[in-house]
Amino acid sequence: MSDLPGIVIAGASGRMGQMLIHTIVQSDKVKLAGALERAGHDWVGQDVGVAMGGAALGVVVTDDPLEPMAKAQAVIDFTAPEATLALSKIAAQARAAHIIGTTGMTHDQIAQLEPASRHCAIVRAGNMSLGVNLLVKLTKQVAAALDEDFDIEVIEAHHHHKVDAPSGTALMLGEAAAEGRGVALNTVRDVARDGITGARKRGDIGFSAIRGGDIVGEHDVLFAGQGERIVLRHMATDRALFAKGALKATLWALDKRPGEYDMLDVLGLRG
């Protein structure tokens, strides 16, 4: 067990944090090397297993990432943009792979990861499931095959606790559609319609967000033409699939050279 790669989980108390800890504890390929939470959080100083309502795991939750990162080979991070940027610098210093599932990052924040990527492997994805990443690839192919007579709308639904919209996955799909059409998403993005907005602009890629209940994640890419519609859909019913995808990305990244990667690289779907 001691020879297994050590993984630190950032945002240990969150939904994904707890799911990731369960996944790692059940794995025979990695071990839990640390659990991080923000300063002042109730879990800091507690054994993470006890804090989760179970048996002790021998890992105490800390708000100082330096010690656990120094003895880990990777960190999995589903937190918030500013926390991810701060952690990227420490992961780079430790030469530990940084697996980022944080959503809501701006283009400027994403660009700020580049210095860290010179020293460690960074795998960043708005969604780490196999099905979603196949959907991304299909979206690009369909968008490339259809002209602007087909309006594109990305429709996503999540639980009522989600704080960002559109979701990271929706933006991945929008980027794929824009790339398929050979345009930059920020020039054709259409969001937040309300009131008298006027007719839809030809070539725009629209986003619609639904928030409610305990929806894990649902994403449709709608290509709407005259007299016909094409709908590509992915529905997630179990958050465990994201944790399994993140662990797959971690194992893949352990022996990779420093650089920025995504799930298409992990799954061999690049190109």
In this structure, the answer to whether residues 100 and 16 fall within a common structural domain is yes
Residue 271 covered by a domain: no
Collapsed DSSP state (helix, strand, coil) of residue 84: helix
pLDDT per position as a tens digit, 155-197: 999 999 999 999 989 999 999 999 999 999 999 999 888 999 9
Residue 59 covered by a domain: yes
pLDDT per position as a tens digit, 83-92: 999 999 999 9
Whether 158 is catalytic is: yes
Q: Is the pLDDT of residue 54 over 80?
A: yes
Pick the range with the lowest mean pLDDT from 89-93, 94-98, 128-132, 251-255.
Answer: 128-132
In this structure, the answer to whether residues 141 and 92 fall within a common structural domain is no
Question: Could you tell me the CA-to-CA distances from 151 to 58, 181, 219 in Å, in that order?
Answer: 53, 12, 16
2 pLDDT tier (thresholds 50, 70, 90): low
Residue 1 covered by a domain: no
In this structure, the answer to whether residues 206 and 220 fall within a common structural domain is yes
Give the residue, 264 or 253, on which the prediction is more confident: 253
Length of the chain: 271
Helix axes 240-253, 15-26, angle to 10 degrees: 60
- Average pLDDT rounded to a whole number, residues 56-70: 97
CATH code of the domain in which 101 resides: 3.40.50.720
The pLDDT, as a whole number, for residue 193 is: 87
For residues 18 and 110, give the distance between their C-alpha atoms in angstroms, rounded to a whole number.
25
Tally the C-alpha atoms within 13 A of residue 47's C-alpha that lie toward its C-beta. Answer: 8
Contacts of 230 (CB under 8 A, 6+ apart): 142, 146, 150, 222, 223
In this structure, the answer to whether residues 164 and 98 fall within a common structural domain is no
CATH code of the domain in which 226 resides: 3.30.360.10
The pLDDT, as a whole number, for residue 103 is: 87
In this structure, the answer to whether residues 117 and 248 fall within a common structural domain is yes
114 pLDDT tier (thresholds 50, 70, 90): very high
For residues 168 and 171, give the distance between their C-alpha atoms in angstroms, rounded to a whole number.
5
In this structure, the answer to whether residues 194 and 107 fall within a common structural domain is no
Contacts of 53 (CB under 8 A, 6+ apart): none
In this structure, the answer to whether residues 40 and 17 fall within a common structural domain is yes
Q: Is the pLDDT of residue 270 over 90?
A: no
Number of structural domains (the chain) is 2
What sign has the CA pseudo-torsion 68, 164, 243, 59?
positive
Residue 157 covered by a domain: yes
Query: What type of residue is 261?
Result: Y
Mean pLDDT of the chain: 95
For residues 207 and 192, give the distance between their C-alpha atoms in angstroms, rounded to a whole number.
8
In this structure, the answer to whether residues 260 and 206 fall within a common structural domain is no
The pLDDT, as a whole number, for residue 173 is: 97
Whether 162 is catalytic is: yes
In this structure, the answer to whether residues 141 and 186 fall within a common structural domain is yes
Residue 103 covered by a domain: yes
In this structure, the answer to whether residues 10 and 71 fall within a common structural domain is yes
Q: Could you tell me the residue range of the domain that residue 77 belongs to?
A: 6-124+239-266
Which one is catalytic: 158, 219, 234, 244?
158
Pick the range with the lowest mean pLDDT from 83-87, 147-151, 165-169, 202-206.
Answer: 165-169
For residues 49 and 61, give the distance between their C-alpha atoms in angstroms, rounded to a whole number.
9
Virtual CA dihedral for 142, 143, 149, 154, nearest 10 degrees?
100
In this structure, the answer to whether residues 13 and 101 fall within a common structural domain is yes
Residue 69 covered by a domain: yes
Which one is catalytic: 41, 119, 159, 162?
162
271 pLDDT tier (thresholds 50, 70, 90): low
In this structure, the answer to whether residues 134 and 75 fall within a common structural domain is no
